[in-house]
Amino acid sequence: MTSVSLHAGRAGCALLLSIWGATAGADEGDGAVHLSGALRGHYFGSSRTLDDRADFFGTSLQLKGVARPTEQVSMKMEARAIAPALGRSDPHSEAQLIEGYMSLNEGRWDWRLGKQIVAWGRADGINPTDVVSPRDATILLPFDADQRSGLWGVVGSYAWTSETSLSVLWKTDFEASRMPVPLAQRSAYRFEQPPHPGAQWGLRLNRTGGDVDWSVSLFRGRSLWPHAGPNQAADGATLRLTYPTVTMLGADLATNFGDYGTRFEAAYTTPAHPVAPHEPGLRRNVYWVAGVDRTFFPRLNVNVQVFARHSWGLPTNLPPRYQWAGAFNAATFMQQRPWVHGVTLRISNAWLHDTLDAEVFVQRFLPNDGTFVQPMVGYAFTDSVRGTLGAQLYTGSGPQLGPLKANRGAFAELRYAF
């Protein structure tokens, strides 16, 4: 984690303690701080940074505090400290403020000011419209939610009706998502986060609680993932990676037809500064996913999705000094050909009064670009103690999953929640 995250984590802990000191003497429900958290021990058979290192034993502590000083004002603070490599010659620890914001309710308006997670989309595991909050794809924690982090900004939500709301957001800074980089290429990658990201804002009209849940969204701001644009070194010794300004127009919906649940999500994304046909860089694209699920017996759930991404104006004959940049963009934005598509499958079940559960998630790029498989099983020993075992497996040589084969391995976690 960067020093910014470390300082933010310390600041978050200090603010959490100040809230506690200000409200600890209050009665329950009248400003009292409600603390919860989890202490976790974990093992990973491989790093998630494409460096062939193996056998990581680590621990993490996550704390959350919620306070409501008045009926209109509430506060939330959540921070994590993690030491993912205990006992190694290069141990390190990280601290991160995940969320830290104040909420204000004024009639039909709800406002949040501070660092907060904004998650868009209703599809399972693949969310084309989820372009606002950053992720850390390298963190050594087992669940998808562990990768999420908040954005600094202001979010307002207006309750148009009991089922429909309009949200507006303004990002006040920029934090990129973290991605794995092959060890042999790290010294040649130069990530350049913008010192002045400019205006970043979004709108989302959302409806829930009816026969059909849906939303439409608009976001303009920096891409969370970098692209290798046309401004590259002439000798190709360094790959310059920047975060282009994009506009995303998205929509999603979910509804049931009898025993079948269905969902659809799509995003049309265009960069603010298009590149020429003979230059590398992010292209205008549409990315969509559609799926159906059903529950049997009564805990066995089967979820199937198809996804596709179409990019316009891909370069056909890049000059030699741009070949590496073109390969990076293909892996990051599915730009190896105009149409890239695939399927996902998630099967889950629970037994013994839901104390034992298991699932397997499969993602396949068609026709033969690779497969990702993640089986996972969990058991609740008590209401507070839970164990998880799983593995991540990658096959194929496609640009999305082929490089990740270095991250193959098993993982385990023992979690104590309080």
Its sign, for the CA torsion 171, 175, 180, 186, is positive
pLDDT in the model for residue 165: 98
Query: What's the whole-number mean pLDDT along residues 271-291?
Result: 96
pLDDT in the model for residue 99: 98
Q: For residue 180, count other CB atoms closer than 10 A to its CB.
A: 16
Query: In the Cβ-directed half-sphere of 335, how many Cα atoms lie within 13 Å?
Result: 23
User: What size, in residues, is the chain?
Assistant: 418
pLDDT in the model for residue 12: 46
Q: In sequence order, what are the beta bridge partners of 240?
A: 190
Q: Percentage of residues in the chain with pLDDT exceeding 90?
A: 84
State pLDDT tens for residues 71-98. Answer: 999 999 999 999 999 988 877 899 999 9
Amino acid making up residue 399: P
State pLDDT tens for residues 165-203. Answer: 999 999 999 999 999 998 888 889 999 999 899 999 999
pLDDT in the model for residue 393: 97
pLDDT in the model for residue 30: 57
Residue of 113, 217, 102 lying closest to 166 (CA atoms): 217
pLDDT band at 21 (very low <50, low <70, confident <90, very high): very low
Q: Are 346 and 303 in contact (CB under 8 A)?
A: yes
Q: Which has more pLDDT, 239 or 18?
A: 239
State pLDDT tens for residues 374-406. Answer: 999 999 999 999 999 999 999 999 999 999 999
State pLDDT tens for residues 102-140. Answer: 999 999 999 999 999 999 999 999 999 999 999 999 999
Query: What's the whole-number mean pLDDT along residues 256-269?
Result: 97
Q: Calculate the CA 258 to chain-centre distance.
A: 31
First-to-last C-alpha distance (Å) of the chain: 26
Burial of 350 per CB tally in 10 Å (0-12, 13-18, 19+): middle
Distances (CA, A) of 71 to 7, 67, 102, 108, 114: 31, 11, 13, 14, 19
pLDDT in the model for residue 15: 46
State pLDDT tens for residues 330-349. Answer: 999 999 999 999 999 999 99
pLDDT band at 16 (very low <50, low <70, confident <90, very high): very low
pLDDT band at 299 (very low <50, low <70, confident <90, very high): very high
- 267, pLDDT greater than 70: yes
Burial of 342 per CB tally in 10 Å (0-12, 13-18, 19+): buried
Which residues 6+ apart lie within 8 Å of 35 measured at CB?
Answer: 20, 63, 64, 65
- 69, pLDDT greater than 80: yes
d(CA 291, CA 306): 6
Q: Calculate the CA 112 to chain-centre distance.
A: 20
pLDDT averaged over the chain? 92
The SS3 assignment for 85 reads coil
State pLDDT tens for residues 34-51. Answer: 999 999 999 999 999 998
pLDDT in the model for residue 321: 87
Query: What's the whole-number mean pLDDT along residues 9-19?
Result: 46
Its sign, for the CA torsion 137, 142, 145, 148, is negative
pLDDT band at 255 (very low <50, low <70, confident <90, very high): very high
- 10, pLDDT greater than 60: no
Q: For residue 123, count other CB atoms closer than 10 A to its CB.
A: 23
pLDDT in the model for residue 31: 67
pLDDT band at 233 (very low <50, low <70, confident <90, very high): confident
- 316, pLDDT greater than 90: no
- 24, pLDDT greater than 80: no
d(CA 79, CA 35): 12
- 258, pLDDT greater than 60: yes
* Domain chopping of the chain, boundaries: 1-93
